[in-house]
Amino acid sequence: MIGKTISHYKILEKIGEGGMGEVYKAEDTKLKRTIALKFLPRELTRDQEARDRFLKEAQAAAALDHLKVKLLASEKAAIEKRPTDDLEAYNLYIKGLYFNWQTYEDAFDKSLDYYRKAIDRDPTFALAYVGIGYTYVGLSALSLRPPASVLPKAKAALKKAQELDDSLAEVHLLDAALAYWYDFDWEEAEKGFQKTFELNPGFALAHSQYAWFLLAMNRFDEAVREIKLAQELDPLKPLFYAMSVGIHRAVGKYDEATRDFHRAIELDPDIGLAYFHLGCVYFDKGMMEEAASTFQKARELVTGSGWAEAKLGIIHVLQGEKEKASQILEELVERKKNTYVESYSIASLYSHLGHTDKAFEYLDKAYEERDTLMPYLNVYTVFELSKEVYADPRYKKLLKNMKLEK
């Protein structure tokens, strides 16, 4: 490892090791500062208990006082401004953040639990309320829970955070995210993102979210630039690479999408979102066998409810296997009676089976339910819906209602 460069971190020397991995002293070649990098052994990445222990040890590694970091004035001010005077509340918040970065439903639940415990200790802890809000946004954006159910809870958390401290970049990012995912208010979302960057230009999560917003606005070059910036700011987040697969796929840069897929699974072999977007790359390229196996993998790892299943159904339609596609559709419709399944996915499969009216019925539901894929109604226009749907005046009306018409 010594002398190796990972992203823009050059490994200088080994500091120590233990059962949870190795810690190295490294140089951040972009910001010219010394940092500590800790690596969890690959065999432990699937062990949730191991991940929990890794979090605690990583916090200890970050506290090594012989690694002196030179801070910018803005960074110093941000650090000196304590988000809470209760150390235990802050530790609980950090644990919530750790699980917030996972893409598994049970991890989001753990995140909520830690944030709530932090608030129990310090009811004035604004960042903990933001954490709750963003956890609900994550559950919605990944279609793990109904947006119409969880996003109002995120709004309530945002309101409390705003009352406590409206000067935080994190508060404005949550505001932008809700304007985008819930209100479908593109102007307010843009304002929120810009305010976030004004307060914290180096906020990696904000740049990743802004990339997806720009994609919905058909500002493709800017979207690619923003997701790359997020990766540069935080190169060890598998989620950013998984997002990048979807963004590069949308703009037809399949080689870049495939590259970032491999980067994502190197960091997290079980990140289903990366597999789903890679399946879409294969789908667009007409590599149906590879697409089907990749969507099946995404389905096993749990991605958006209905996403992979609908794609598998469309592949069956294109291969002349309408019975198999109809069976998947029936399963999705039946499942939706008892649990959350994204209506957009059902609409997509209905459209390819030739049921245009039913497709619009579920597209209207998707709009009312605030389905995650609705902001991209005018982005992914290759095999997402049938040609009959795209040619129907109701499609143009839906775009107009969402203010997405070009």
Q: What is the CATH number of the domain that holds 277?
A: 1.25.40.10
Q: What is the mean pLDDT of residues 216-222?
A: 95
For residues 345 and 7, give the distance between their C-alpha atoms in angstroms, rounded to a whole number.
36
21 confidence band (pLDDT: 50, 70, 90): low
- Look at residue 69 and tell me whether its pLDDT is greater than 50: no
Report residue 10: phi and psi, to 5°: -95, 120
Residue 284 lies in a domain: yes
- Judgement on whether residues 334 and 377 belong to the same structural domain of the protein: yes
Mean pLDDT for the stretch of residues 260-280:
95
The residue among 281, 303, 325 that closes a domain is 303
Long-range contacts of 173-179 (CB under 8 A, 24+ apart): 173/134, 173/203, 173/205, 173/206, 173/209, 174/130, 174/133, 174/134, 174/137, 176/206, 176/209, 176/210, 176/213, 177/134, 177/137, 177/209, 178/133, 178/137, 178/151, 178/154
Average pLDDT over residues 33-53: 60
Let me know how many helices (H) and strands (E) the chain has, helices first. Answer: 20, 4
The secondary structure of residue 375, as a DSSP letter, is: G
> What is the pLDDT averaged over residues 137-163?
95
pLDDT at 358: 98
Which residue would you say has higher pLDDT here, 405 or 191? Answer: 191
The token pair that represents 359 in the structure block: 């497709």
What pLDDT is recorded for position 278? 97
pLDDT value at residue 70: 41
Pair of tokens at residue 169? 């970049």
Of 37, 70, 103, the position where a domain reaches its end is 70
Number of structural domains (the chain) is 3
Q: What is the mean pLDDT of residues 302-320?
A: 91
**What are 328-337's contacts with CB under 8 Å, separation 24+?**
329/353, 332/306
In a domain, 343, yes or no: yes
| 222 domain-assigned | no
Domain stop point among 70, 93, 121: 70
32-36, 72-76, 374-378, range with the lowest pLDDT: 72-76
Q: Would you say residue 317 lies in a domain?
A: yes
Lowest-confidence pick of 37-51, 122-136, 141-155, 220-234: 37-51
Between residues 226 and 305, the one the model is more confident about: 226
C-alpha span between 229 and 209 (Å, rounded): 11
Position 341 in a domain: yes
Tokens of 212: 């997806």
CA triple 116-117-122, angle to 5 deg: 95
Q: Pick from 37-41, 60-64, 231-235, 353-357 the range whose average pLDDT is largest.
A: 353-357
Query: Under 8 Å CB-to-CB from 391, ≥6 apart: which residues?
Result: none
- pLDDT of amino acid 226: 97
Q: pLDDT class for 11, splitting at 50, 70, 90?
A: confident
Do both 315 and 405 map to the same domain?
yes
* Mean pLDDT to the nearest integer, 289-306: 90
**Would residue 50 count as lying in a domain?**
yes
CATH number at residue 26: 3.30.200.20
Region 309-324: mean pLDDT is 96
164-218 pLDDT, tens digit per residue, is 999 999 999 999 999 999 999 999 999 999 999 999 999 999 999 999 999 999 9
Backbone angles phi, psi at 217, to 5 degrees: -85, 5
pLDDT > 90 in the chain, percent: 71
pLDDT of 74-131, one tens digit each? 444 444 467 888 999 999 999 999 898 888 888 999 999 999 999 999 999 999 999 9
- Containing domain of residue 267, as a range? 245-303
**For residue 57, is pLDDT > 90?**
no
Is 142 a member of any domain? no
Least confident of 36-40, 179-183, 297-301, 327-331: 36-40
Residue 301 in contact with residue 289, Cβ under 8 Å? no
**383: alpha, beta or left, given left = phi > 0 and alpha = psi -120 to 50?**
left
